[in-house]
Amino acid sequence: MAEKELNSDDFIKHHLQNLTFGQCSDGKWRFADGHINIGTDQKAHQETKEYTCNPKEMGFNAIHIDTMAMSLLLGGLFCFLFWSVARKASVTNPSKLQNAVEYAFDFVRTGVSDIFVPKGNKIIGPLALTTIAWVLLMNLMDLLPVDLIPWIANGFQSSTEYGWVHYFKVLPVADINAPAGMALGVAILIHYYSIKEKGVGGFISELTLQPLGKWAIPFNMIVEIPGFYAKQAALALRLYGNLFAGEMIFILIACLYIYSGELFQAGILSQSIMWGIVGILLQILWAVFHILIIALQAYVFMILTVVFLNQAHETHH
């Protein structure tokens, strides 16, 4: 397919689109049009010119392949890394990597012990460690150049060409599905421990009898139930909002390079160099600042997870 130019608007839309596979309007499962150009999927689209398979038409049957792939890859990387360190752990001659892992373990264990009051729970500690490590690894993908992974996935071709994979969004947490999936897992644990520790009646009583007692059950439900579920939803929205905003800023900074290239092609060399330098400086400054956001959001997600699970164990009288 012939190469085509992308303006800034097209560039932003391109990098905000996930690689989508799902059920099309004819009932068949395919990649969305233009998302992948390999094998029978592309051939089917070429043979049926009038047929379109739009991600919006797939609805809940749309699967974001890039989000799934990057999440599983980074989760597997975390598990393999910690397993390999544990397998080779040495008391007398620990490696630098072992020291780093032990520091991370002690950091999480201290945080959990300070917040989580019930003792003897063997799930909360590993859950907290997995949460902060997995979220941190996913967040770190935001520091990669915005075109690097799409360029690799596209068969080492320019993003202005249709290669093997035309869309590939490298940051899983900038897709609401990934944070929402993690928050849903936490919500299931909250309900499980709430019912386990307090019973079904005790759990329902907390949502209906507080804060004003049994004589104000309708008012109590209006206050307690939305607040109870809003905390769990905010767990996902906080992570998604911060990382999506960070990704957008990186994409907007990358647009300066497009502008610089346009000036270069127009023969305005001095301004082209100036805007290129401005883009590099802004990218470095934002990356340094964004490292703090990346680490903070991973820590906040872990802490709130432990706090909510601790609340699920509390019995109010």
- 217 close to 208: Cβ distance less than 8 angstroms: yes
The confidence score (pLDDT) of residue 2 equals 38
Instruction: Note whether residue 277 is domain-resident.
Output: yes
The confidence score (pLDDT) of residue 262 equals 80
Edge-first strand order for the sheet with 20-23 is 29-31, 20-23, 62-64
Residue 158 scores a pLDDT above 70:
no
Q: pLDDT for 60-78, tens place per residue?
A: 888 999 999 999 999 999 9
**Distance between CA atoms of residues 242 and 142, nearest Å:** 11
Residue 162 scores a pLDDT above 60:
no
Please tell me the total count of domains within the chain.
1
- The top-scoring range by mean pLDDT among 8-17, 24-33, 151-160, 232-241 is 232-241
Instruction: Note whether residue 3 is domain-resident.
Output: no
Cite the DSSP H helix spans in 118-176.
Answer: 124-140, 148-153
Domain span including residue 298: 8-313
Instruction: Note whether residue 206 is domain-resident.
Output: yes
Instruction: Note whether residue 2 is domain-resident.
Output: no
Instruction: Report the chain's C-alpha Rg in angstroms.
Output: 24
Instruction: Note whether residue 151 is domain-resident.
Output: yes
Mean pLDDT of the chain: 83
Of the candidates 17, 138, 23, the one whose C-alpha atom is nearest the C-alpha of residue 70 is 138
Amino acid at 206: E
Instruction: Note whether residue 1 is domain-resident.
Output: no
